[in-house]
C-alpha cells in the first residue's frame, strides 16, 4: 500500500492506494482503499537533533517546521497533531501533511507510534521501522535511528 495525491478542483487530497495483481490477465490494478485528508505542504528546516524515542523524533521534526508542543499536542495555526489520540486534524477535519518525502496523517502517525515488532526478526524490524519513518516524512540522523532501534529492541 502507498499514499497517492490527487488534485481535485485545484486542491490536493491524499488517498491510501492498494495494488492488486491479476495472474490470468497478467496485469495490476490499483484501488483507493481510504481517504486520508486534504494535503498541506510543510517546508522543512535542516536543524536536526538526536532523538532516543519515537515520540521525541516526531516532536523534533515537527518543531523544526514551526509546530509548538504543549499538553502532548503539536499545534501550528489551525493544524493540531494529538499524540494521545494519534490524530492529525485541521479544524476537526482529517488532513495529510506533506513533509520531506512522505505524508504525515493519522494512518502513518499511528503506524509509527504503535509500531509492532512482534514475530519479526531484527532485519525485518529495521526495514519496517525505516519504512514507517520515511512514509511519515520524518527525517532522522543515523545516530537517532540506531538509538530508537536499540531502545525498542531492549524491551
Residue 150, pLDDT above cutoff 90: no
pLDDT band at 95 (very low <50, low <70, confident <90, very high): very high
pLDDT band at 88 (very low <50, low <70, confident <90, very high): very high
Task: State how far Cα 53 lies from the chain centre.
Answer: 15
Helix (H, G, I), strand (E, B) or coil at 53: coil
Question: In angstroms, what CA-CA distances link 74 with 45, 87, 121?
Answer: 17, 11, 33
**CA distance linking residue 82 with residue 80, whole number of Å:** 6
Residue 50 has pLDDT above 70, yes or no: no
In this structure, the strands spanning 93-99 and 11-22 are unpaired
96-135 per-position pLDDT tens digit: 999 888 899 999 999 888 887 778 788 888 888 888 888 9
Domain ranges of the chain: 43-154
- Kindly report the pTM of this predicted structure: 0.75
pLDDT for residue 106: 92
Amino acid at each position: 500500500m502507498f499514499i497517492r495525491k490527487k488534485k481535485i478542483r485545484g486542491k490536493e487530497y491524499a488517498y491510501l492506494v492498494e495494488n492488486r495483481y491479476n495472474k490470468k490477465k497478467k496485469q495490476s490494478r490499483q484501488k483507493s482503499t481510504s481517504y486520508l485528508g486534504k494535503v498541506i505542504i510543510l517546508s522543512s528546516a535542516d536543524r536536526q537533533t538526536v532523538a532516543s524515542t519515537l515520540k521525541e523524533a516526531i516532536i523534533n521534526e515537527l518543531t523544526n517546521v514551526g509546530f509548538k508542543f504543549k499538553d502532548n499536542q503539536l499545534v501550528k495555526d489551525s493544524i493540531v497533531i494529538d499524540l494521545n489520540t494519534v490524530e492529525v486534524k485541521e479544524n476537526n477535519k482529517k488532513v495529510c501533511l506533506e513533509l520531506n518525502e512522505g505524508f504525515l496523517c493519522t494512518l502513518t502517525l499511528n503506524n509509527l507510534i504503535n509500531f509492532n515488532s512482534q514475530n519479526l526478526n531484527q532485519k525485518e524490524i529495521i526495514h519496517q521501522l525505516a519504512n514507517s519513518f520515511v512514509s511519515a516524512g520524518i527525517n532522522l540522523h543515523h545516530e537517532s535511528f540506531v538509538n530508537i532501534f536499540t531502545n525498542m529492541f531492549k524491551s
